[in-house]
A and B are shown apart, each in its own frame.
Chain A
Amino acid sequence: MRRETIINAALAIGLLAIPLWAHVTGEIFTITLATRVAILALAAVGLNLALGLGGLVSFGHAAYFGLGGYAMGILAFHAQTFDPIFTWPFVFEGTSQMLVIWGVALVVSGLAAALIGMLTLHTSGAYFIMATLAFGQMFYYLFVSWPKYGGEDGMSIYVRNDFPGLNTLDPIQFFLICYVLLMAGIFVSWRIARSPFGLALKASRQNAERVETVGITPFRIRLAAFVISGMITGLAGALMADLNRFVGPTMFSWQTSGEIMILVILGGVARLYGPVAGAALFILLEHWLGGVSDYWLAFVGALLLLVVLFARGGLIGSLAGREVAHD
């Protein structure tokens, strides 16, 4: 077996075993940490698809994360107040059903990714980075200046939403929901990486002209990847909102985009389990360094700088060797 496969299996089993053990020993806090790892990893799985496979350096994935979060927030808010979201052209009621919320989160973040992708994917390099960053910030300001859904303060949702047959307020059950969705996200990106579509995407990262000469339009391939990527990150946003039972405009902030990107980089760009490794490392750093110093993000910054300058390939890259180029 390849070393990367062993590491991947260890990550998948470890992320499941630790919270199960914590459940047996009654350490709720560890389960919450593991749930955060799973959700952040899912957000990063989304970005990794665009960034790692497609070479699309989106610094605006907070937009989809936030839209997913607000999809949950707005639906649950209207379910609390029994006041339909809109009544024309059809009556659209709020809901506290996770399955419906996830569907709405996927659709909304997918639409936003399609729109932003159509506007930005014709550009490349620094332009693309700046444009995605700017559009992300646009959503931030939009939700800050929209008082109905909490404006700058955000809004709390008092009850966690429902999933048929499960008690979502039980930490381990909610963790399992997030874990299953994370595995589904990883499975989707594994399938995509091996499909003709994924190969065309990789090829358009490496040499767009050649891809064009064989009759594939790189723009359309990239757009499709960008939409799927945004949808996965949006789903993670909905889960994060449910974990915190709170949504606020900081979900849209440029720091959130940066953090999702850090997860991908720390774990290893274009590695299937890179996002999981990155999210686990990030949460552990936050937990340990956050206890040592209030300024722990400076250490994350220093670590990131070192990884970029000297250890390209991230955690999985240094453990499993064989650097994957991302040019």
Chain B
Amino acid sequence: MTTILFIEQVLNGLQFGVMLFLMAAGLTLVFGVMGLINLAHGSLYMVGAFAAATVAAATGSFLLGLIASLAAAAMAGAIVEIVVIRRLYRRDHLDQVLATFALILIFSEGTRWLFGSFPLYLDIPAMLSGSVTLPGGIQYPLYRLFIIGMGLGVAAFLFWLISRTRLGIQIRAGEADREMIGALGVDISKLYTVVFALGAALAGMAGALVGAIQSVEVGMGEPVLILAFVTIIIGGIGSIKGAFVGALLVGLIDTLGRTMLPIAFGTVMEASAATTVGSALASMLIYILMAGVLIARPQGLFGAAA
């Protein structure tokens, strides 16, 4: 019994981890290339989820909803970049944090005004509902496997994009030396808009995919955003590989901790106390991991030494 539970939780952790990766990858790209810390990344996640829920409800097609989430988040990202973010690259981190925090307030209240305070629901498409039997007789929801597959697919796509394409070369060059690639004739401001929109699209896609298993509501993005920050601190800022490893670590440790710790404490103390202590400690586990990384390797597991 417990091995089945364990494998299920590992899969849940993976699913959570790959979604965190979609968020963290965009954040870390934007930070790496433009040196910008973007608190409004969670708002783009929310925009994606709302776009998917609206379009899926209107057309009845989950696929169209997913495409809408990518398009809407990328568009919102591009607009925000052109109107606001562009003015912030040369500012200090304090100004960036404040301006993007202001954007969160505007996005959240704007969405509340448009859609109301009640959560929307995004249904899992019929094709992906139900569960499959994995080897070993484990029943697991098909949709969650689909999310894991999508996440891994996007990760592979990103690694390919960064290492094998012209845009990837420009992104890497932008991380190394912005002025030089400008001098070599790359249109920097266009590159920045593209990178920002790419990160936004990833966030929007994560919002849509997660939106189908949770509710779509105002404020859904920020808890994920903060976990993505934890991911980036663990993985190392600016590194896609670090974001990937960090996201899987955070996803697995958080998910497994929440199930396993109360059980583990249950072996040494009575059940209700074990649940309380176990779940309280489990809620802190990833932050303790982050603290450990900050002590042992402040630049993160895959970050370049400062």
Contact = CB atoms under 8 A, between A and B. Distances in A.
B302 to A, nearest CB: 14
Interface in A115-151: 119-120, 122-123, 125-127, 129-131, 133-135, 137-138, 141-142, 144-148
A304 interface: yes
Contacts of B104: 258, 301
Given A138-B284, A144-B283, A295 B109 contact: yes
Interface in B73-106: 84, 87, 92-95, 97-99, 101-106
A141 B276 CA distance: 13
23 contacts: A57-B93, A119-B291, A119-B295, A127-B298, A130-B232, A131-B233, A142-B283, A261-B101, A262-B101, A294-B112, A295-B113, A297-B108, A298-B106, A298-B108, A298-B109, A298-B113, A300-B102, A301-B109, A304-B101, A305-B99, A308-B95, A308-B102, A326-B92
Contacts of A269: 94
A304 B102 contact: yes
Contact of A142 (B95, B110, B284): B284
Nearest to A134: B230
Range of interface residues on A (Cβ < 8 Å)? 35 or more
A148 B276 contact: yes
Interface of A: 51, 57, 59, 119-120, 122-123, 125-127, 129-131, 133-135, 137-138, 141-142, 144-148, 254, 258, 261-262, 265, 269, 294-298, 300-302, 304-305, 308-309, 312, 326-327
A112 to B, nearest CB: 13
B140 interface: no
B109 A297 contact: yes
B222 interface: yes
B132 interface: no
Given A119-B295, A141-B283, A302 B106 contact: yes
Contacts of B99: 304-305, 308-309
Contacts of A147: 276
A141 B288 CA distance: 13
**Residue among B94, B279, B294 with the most chain A CB within 10 A?**
B94
B226 interface: yes
Nearest to A126: B37
A59 B39 CA distance: 11
A309 B108 CA distance: 20
A133 B226 contact: yes
